[in-house]
A = this chain, B = another copy of it.
């Protein structure tokens, strides 16, 4: 199969897009082409000496693993290993990487074989995730670690404050980390009332920040009510942010 005019210009378009949108200028566009090319495309163009993304994705995966680890290790100095591991797993996974790839419009620049295209691979989460990792691998090789850090500080880390990964960390921890981004604050939970029956108790709790109550929560245990209060506070704070 001939490489069509459109496909030749796809990587050039990607270069222009990365320059305009992210200020990224690749020294070696072949690395970029490799990161955005699936094996199915190489198989359809056997004599072009093309490479596909798998090796570079192997590297990019490890780059992301370290940089995300380092960021959350430093940002959450009190978070124990178990919670760090859960948070990293929520950030470094197919679900989030495929969303980042879509958000960066990477789906538009993938070079796919005809069959894969017809089968809808372009919107498949696993492929989008692979391409995101491969792009990071190419960026790391071509531009070094600072360029990767800059990119993921823009694309990945803001999602922490937007609550994308809250499910991995309990709401009380999330609230604490959210509020303590800019220094120490005093967070307290107060039991307001205890109602219901012995078999169906209902606790009402308020959470206050530096002495000022900001939200309430209700639950079947004190702990559950505190979690609800923390989640309510988080939702409110994020809306106002």
Could you list which residues of chain A lie within 8 angstroms of chain B, going by C-beta atoms? 54-55, 57-59, 61-63, 65-66, 69-70, 73, 79-81, 84-85, 88, 145
Query: Are A59's CB and B55's CB within 8 A?
Result: no
| A69 in contact with B58 (CB, 8 Å) | yes
A81 touches B57 (CB 8 A): yes
Copies in the complex: 2
Q: Which residues of B contact A70 (CB under 8 A)?
A: 59, 62
Chain B residues with CB under 8 Å of A69's CB are 58-59, 61-62
Q: Report the separation of the CA atoms of residues A84 and B56 in the bound assembly, to the nearest whole angstrom.
A: 11
A65 to B88 CA separation, bound complex (whole angstroms): 14
Pick the contact of A66: B54, B66, B80, B88 (CB < 8 A): B66
Q: Which residues of chain B are within 8 angstroms of A79 by Cβ–Cβ distance?
A: 55
- The smallest C-beta distance from A113 to any residue of chain B, in angstroms, reads 18
**Pick the contact of A65 from B55, B57, B62 — CB < 8 Å?**
B62
**Of B58, B65, B80, B85, the contact of A85 (CB 8 Å cutoff):** B58
- Most chain B C-beta atoms within 10 Å of own C-beta, residue among A55, A80, A85, A145: A55
The one of B63, B81, B145 in contact with A54, judged by C-beta atoms closer than 8 angstroms, is B81
Chain B residues whose C-beta falls within 8 Å of the C-beta of A62 in the assembled complex: 62, 65-66, 69-70
Q: Determine the distance from Cα of A70 to Cα of B69 in the docked complex, in whole angstroms.
A: 17
